[in-house]
Every structure is written in C-alpha cells, then in structure tokens.
C-alpha cells in the first residue's frame, strides 16, 4: 500500500513501486497480489481539505495502474473501504508494547522537537495498523523501500507474539522484498530522502512531470563544485551520488557500471543532461498512462471499489474471524 498524497514520485517508484509491476508481470495463477491506497494511514497528518483528499485517493489509484498493475490480474483497493483493517489493528494493539513502538526510527525522526500536544497517537501507533494491513491477508512477501524494513520486522514480531500467546501458528510472518535501489534523496537537500512533505516542488520528480520540467529540476539540483569528473561517494558528494543512484535504479545497472558510463564526462551540463534524458525516457510510458487514466475518475473509483468490497474484503473477513475465534470472541 501507499499513502494518497498526489501522484507518485521517483523515490516511490524506485523505492518499491517498480517491484510492484514485476510482481504483477510474474504472478503465478496460484498467487494473489494486493495493492492498495493507505488512506487511513494518510490521516496521521490531518487532511483538512476533504475534496483534495478525495482527489488524492483517486490519483493514487491512477498511479498504481499507471505502473502497469492490471486490475484483472491483481487486487487494487482502498484501505478505508475494508473495516477489518481497523478491527485487526485494535486487536494487535493490545499485544504490542509501547517500548517497541518507541524504538521505531521513523517515529523518532517525525516526533523530534515536537511538543506532547503536537504529537498524536495515530502517528505513534500507525506501525500496528501497517502490521494489520499485512497480516490480514496472510501475506508472504511485502515489497518495501529500505526505510520501511523496520516496520516489517515489527510485523513479524507481532505475528510471533500472537502465535505464541494462542499456541497456534496462524498469523504468517512475511518476508521483506527490498528494492534493489538505495534510498532516493531530495534534489535540493540531498541529506534528506525525496519526499512530498519537504514542501519544495523542485526537490522531487513526479512520475507525471513533463519532460521540460524534469530537465529543469535536474539542471537546478544541488551538486558540488567538483565538475571535471563524476563518481559515487555519498558522504563527500551526496548530490552527484544521488543522481548516479537514480540512473542505476532506472537502468537496472550497478553503481560501478554507471560510473563507467559517465567516466568521460567532464562538465555538469553533459552529466545532468544525460541523467535527465534517462529519467524522461524511463518515465514516459508511466506518465502517458497516468495522464490517460486520470481523465476517467469514475473508472478508477470502480476499480478500487470492486477490488475492496468484492475481492479484498472476503479475504480480510476470513482472517479476522479466525483471529477473533482464537481470542475468544
């Protein structure tokens, strides 16, 4: 699942989303793949503009389908349409310790410097809901970016604890599928990851950005003063290394292979044009598909509604009933 905060960006795509298409394309008839819009997670930061939030939810469905996810082969859903997510979340919250949640890296970074009044329970406890999202379907494999790997470990911890408490190996401990690309960083602040919460539109590339805007963002991205050669050194050259990492991810090449490709480049104009051209070529099919899909919000809502109510919810109901039976309800 991914939060509805507008169209996907390059960090989302290389962090986990591109693996989604590989799962879609290589799915066996005996396998079920579920992709969804995590709209309940999205309100850990309150959404005061309800119309914009509705639009973002639809845009997220368009983004999922534009990756090449087929609603005929896979389930695409809205988290909020399946109440079993919230119900299992509560049941699992009763066996999850505050101490474990307090050690979560993302919680620490998001709450740092905030007062007690500013920090909300939903932000602290949302990893339990994320665990419920996964365990509700007996998920065996979950594709995530490296910043989410700790949440998968919590999910396995909760599953083990439940199984021990009720003396039955019922909840499946999922395996993590890590994206092969390292974390994509902000174009303007390469000490931070690429994120919409940054507030700077020049810091990230959306999958539906037109070519001229991608060129502009890459030309203006922060690099360094060493302009006669380009190599990967995330400590000393984070901006340049981020661009090399992006090319590596999009071309499915190693960092060393990309360094070899650019070894004869001796100025930033050549290097940045090279990077921009690769991004534009890689994202053109996704952008074209997204722009077509977003013109038909009725179709997108129909896909997500069918996926939620007709396909995902029966699976969720089966798991929740079994969990509640084990707990004595």
- Active-site residue numbers? 110, 193, 196
Q: Are strands 141-144 and 175-178 parallel, antiparallel or unpaired?
A: parallel
The label of the residue with tokens 């799962």 reads 23
Count of helix runs (H) and strand runs (E) in the chain: 15, 4
3-state DSSP call for residue 139?
coil
């Amino acid at each position: 699942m991914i939060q509805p905060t507008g169209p996907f960006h390059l960090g989302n795509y290389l962090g986990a989303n591109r693996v989604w298409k590989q799962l879609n394309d290589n799915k066996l008839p005996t396998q079920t793949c579920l992709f969804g819009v995590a709209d309940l997670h999205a309100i850990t930061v309150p959404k005061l503009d309800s119309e914009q939030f509705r639009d973002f939810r639809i845009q997220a469905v368009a983004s999922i389908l534009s990756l090449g996810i087929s609603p005929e082969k896979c389930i695409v859903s809205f988290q909020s349409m399946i109440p079993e997510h919230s119900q299992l979340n509560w049941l699992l919250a009763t066996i999850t310790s505050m101490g474990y949640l307090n050690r979560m890296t993302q919680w620490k970074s998001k709450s740092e410097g905030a007062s007690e009044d500013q920090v909300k329970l939903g932000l602290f406890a949302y990893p339990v809901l994320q665990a419920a999202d996964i365990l509700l379907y007996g998920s065996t494999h979950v594709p995530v970016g490296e910043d989410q790997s700790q949440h998968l470990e919590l999910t396995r911890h909760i599953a083990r604890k439940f199984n021990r408490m009720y003396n039955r190996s019922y909840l499946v401990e999922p395996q993590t599928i890590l994206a092969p690309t390292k974390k994509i960083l902000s174009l303007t602040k390469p000490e931070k990851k690429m994120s919409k919460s940054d507030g700077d539109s020049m810091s990230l590339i959306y999958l539906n950005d037109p070519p001229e805007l991608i060129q502009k963002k890459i030309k203006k991205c922060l690099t360094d003063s060493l302009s006669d050669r380009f190599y990967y050194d995330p400590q000393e050259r984070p901006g340049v290394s981020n661009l090399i990492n992006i090319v590596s991810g999009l071309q499915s090449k190693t960092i060393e292979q990309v360094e070899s490709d650019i070894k004869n480049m001796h100025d930033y104009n050549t290097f940045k044009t090279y990077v921009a051209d690769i991004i534009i070529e890689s994202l053109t099919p996704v952008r074209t598909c997204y722009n077509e899909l977003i013109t038909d919000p009725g179709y997108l809502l129909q896909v997500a509604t069918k996926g939620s109510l007709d396909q995902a919810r029966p699976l969720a109901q089966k798991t929740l009933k079994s969990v509640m039976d084990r707990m004595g309800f």
